[in-house]
A and B are shown apart, each in its own frame.
Chain A
Amino acid sequence: MTMYLFYFLAFLAILCGLMVILEKNPVHSVLYLIITFFALAGHYLLLNAQFLFIVQIMVYAGAIMVLFLFVIMLLNLNKETEPHKSNLVKFAAAISAGLLLVVLVAAMKGAETLPAPATTNADMGLVKNLGQVLFTQFLLPFETASLLFLAAMVGAVMLGKRDIK
């Protein structure tokens, strides 16, 4: 059962990931990317990462993708006006990405001999457990992340202004 669910979600993620880059209309690309994110959220749920499942849906599918859609609507890009790269460039891109895939798969060879883990903790992905790790072991990176957000917010407002006096 879990096996079938895994293969279904993996197939969905890869198919919609391909559609993101092959679709000519940017709005359709965003919608396919949202399906990919939901498939990955399903993987997180299968892996007992319940907190990341919710965060993936809220932050990625909710916030980031809405931002993408807003910008596409704002710039009125929802039409297929994009001029395409020459066939030579496309061919070179496909070859490069395929070679990268081959290299990565070859580099990861041997992982199938890794034994299944002996013990698993089903409560590990819950907010209680992750919060404890986040606020003890990773307190400094957490505070730095808030600074990063502040800088990003100021930067986005600065860039978005039409004329800076």
Chain B
Amino acid sequence: MAAAAKRVPLPAILLANDLLDGDVVFAAAAGPGGLAWTRDPARALVASDDAAAERLEAFAAAELRGNTVVDAYLVDIALEGGRPVPRHFRERFKTLGPSNRPDLGKQAGEGIAPAPKG
């Protein structure tokens, strides 16, 4: 296998699209030492060092193989008010939704608890 592609600068989060729904999902801490997908960008696990980033990468590879998500990759972020915010505007839109439709997507709370329908 070729050497791994150059990793984005840290800190970073892992995002992907859910296979079934297409929604943007984020890897979050779940249970002791575990990871699971969440639709809430605020809950995304922030990897600040190489070990944490490798863990996210391993999770991405397993989940792609397991056919639960597609298009999984790390995104470099800045912490703003304790929340991870992607540094690049493209990825910021993925955590928000269409900028011309504030009534749609994550910015409108879609798929994010405690919305009534998840």
Q: Do A and B interact?
A: no
Please list the residues of chain B having a beta carbon within 8 angstroms of any beta carbon in chain A.
none
